[in-house]
Amino acid sequence: MSLSSASAFAILGTGSLAPDRVVTNDDLAKLVNTSDEWIQTRTGIRERRLAGPGDTTTGLAAGAARAALADAGIDPAAIDLLIVATCTPDLPMPATASLVQTALGLPSTTACFDLNAACTGFVYALDTAWALLASGRYRHALVIGAEKMSSALDWTDRTTCVLFGDGAGAVVLGPAPAGSGIVATKLGAIPGTSELLLIPGGGSSPLAPDAPRHIKMKGKEVFKFAVRAMDEVCRDLLTPRGLAPTDVALVVPHQANLRIIHAIAEYLELPHDRFFANVDRYGNTSAASIPLALDEAGKAGRLRRGDLVLLVAFGAGLTYGGALVRW
Ligand code: UT7
């Protein structure tokens, strides 16, 4: 199945970075009342990377970005737009993007800002960067998803602390080689659902000055939303273009739970191996999960020129989003 038109901007390179420290399920079973068996059966996670004393969201983001720039063969001086998707910035201000700009030595003409759509953040940032490139005002964008989720976890709460990890992934967007490019994106958010997944404290709200500064989640409700929303967004990207799920060479979904990934595979009637998964080794790295998975998929030879690749995510908000890309 061919597409009627290819967009003018493509992912030119990818990169990722995760902290060195590997924390296994057995390690966590020493902290909270859990087990390797429970975590693996319910989530597919075996281990995750957690930040050491020297690791910051900025440092992880900059490392992933350097790798993406090298992969794309693009000089940092050519980057005129930098978006960092994160819900765990180093500081309330300035934006992590400004800190990353300094770390990378990007020029003063680079527009730099953060974007928070939680775990859907990378897809939101990709859509935003694509639109800004298409406006003609920018030429090369660096889009990063970076998180230090360990800073937002309650290490006594077994229902959340076993699920997340730290890391970063980045892509460089620029003028597309013939035949490749971003084809379509779709974003959305469901009003009235913020209490299902949130960090209640740490912001400026006068309503909850002493609220906890770590993640609270109603996991079962989020699970059901995730499967329904990601199935819908995949179909909304494919069907109007005369495409079927079987036309997609690889789906790179948000890495939250292997059961969620397998459930979408069943809904779309695709084999499990059509989905890239590395949640077993990283856990849920929120906005970093898709670019980190994309980078690993590329290095594993799973992204071939001309392939149709589908990125799809869900997260706090509740938000959802997808991007269809001709590799
Ligand atoms: O990027 C967005 C982030 N959010 C998500 O991805 C969350 C989506 N939801 C999920 O992935 C799943 O709902 C979870 C993995 C969070 C939970 O799996 P579940 O199959 O929905 O389990 P549950 O919440 O129904 O809990 C089943 C049992 C409960 O015990 P009881 O009430 O049946 O006695 C929990 O207390 O498992 C217990 N439990 C645990 N046991 C051992 C919850 N967490 C743990 C744990 N270890 N870590």
Task: Report the half-sphere exposure of 166 (CA within 13 A, side-chain side).
Answer: 28
Shared domain check, 293 and 256? yes
Closest CA to 72 of 204, 215, 176: 176
DSSP H helices, the chain, are: 25-28, 36-43, 57-72, 96-104, 121-134, 158-161, 219-238, 258-267, 279-282, 289-299
**Helical (H) or strand (E) element with 34:** none
pTM for the full model? 0.96
Shared domain check, 161 and 26? yes
pLDDT band, very low/low/confident/very high, at 6 (cuts 50, 70, 90)? very low
Domain that residue 47 falls in: 8-175
User: Tell me: the pLDDT tens digits for 51-99?
Assistant: 999 999 999 999 999 999 999 999 999 999 999 999 999 999 999 999 9
In the listed set 145, 175, 205, which residue is the last one of a domain according to the structure?
175
Catalytic annotation present for 119: yes
Catalytic annotation present for 33: no
Shared domain check, 244 and 151? no
What CATH number is given to the structural domain containing 196? 3.40.47.10
Which residue among 159, 230, 259, 282 is best mutated to probe the pocket of ligand 1, counting the most ligand atoms within 8 A of its Cβ? 159
Shared domain check, 272 and 218? yes
pLDDT of residue 2: 32
pLDDT of residue 207: 73
Residue 286 CA to ligand 1 centre (angstroms)? 17
Shared domain check, 164 and 148? yes
Catalytic annotation present for 214: no
Judged by average pLDDT, the poorest of 6-15, 32-41, 48-57, 90-99 is 6-15
87 touches ligand 1 (CB under 6 Å): no
Percent over 90 (pLDDT), the chain: 94
What is the DSSP secondary-structure string of 155-201? TT-HHHHTTB-EEEEEEEEEEPPTT-EEEEEEEEE-TT-GGGEE--S
Shared domain check, 192 and 50? no
- Two tokens at 49? 């990377």
Average pLDDT, the chain: 95
What distance, in Å, lies between the first and last C-alpha atoms of the chain? 15
User: Tell me: the pLDDT tens digits for 257-280?
Assistant: 999 999 999 999 999 999 999 999
How many domains, the chain?
2
pLDDT of residue 5: 38
Catalytic position from the list 87, 112, 119, 161: 119
Shared domain check, 127 and 193? no
Shared domain check, 64 and 92? yes
What is the DSSP secondary-structure string of 268-315? TT--GGGB---HHHH-B-GGGHHHHHHHHHHHTT---TT-EEEEEEEE
In the listed set 175, 195, 224, which residue is the last one of a domain according to the structure?
175
Flag whether 31 is in a domain.
yes
pLDDT of residue 233: 98
Judged by average pLDDT, the poorest of 56-60, 175-179, 288-292 is 175-179
From residue 219, alpha-carbon distances to 264, 315, 319 in Å are: 17, 11, 15
- Own/partner pairs, 107-114, CB within 8 angstroms, 24+ separation: 107/76, 107/77, 107/79, 107/80, 109/80, 110/79, 110/80, 110/81, 110/82, 111/80, 111/81, 111/82, 111/138, 112/82, 112/84, 113/82, 113/83, 113/84, 114/83, 114/84, 114/85, 114/86, 114/89
Q: Which residue has the higher pLDDT, 206 or 171?
A: 171
Residue 16 CA to ligand 1 centre (angstroms)? 28
Segment 151-165 mean pLDDT: 97
For the cut 70, the answer to whether the pLDDT of residue 253 exceeds it is yes
Flag whether 32 is in a domain.
yes
Segment 188-215 mean pLDDT: 90
User: Tell me: the pLDDT tens digits for 219-235?
Assistant: 999 999 999 999 999 99
Segment 175-189 mean pLDDT: 95
- Two tokens at 262? 């397998």
pLDDT of residue 3: 34
- Two tokens at 123? 């897809």
Percent over 70 (pLDDT), the chain: 98
d(CA 241, CA 100): 37
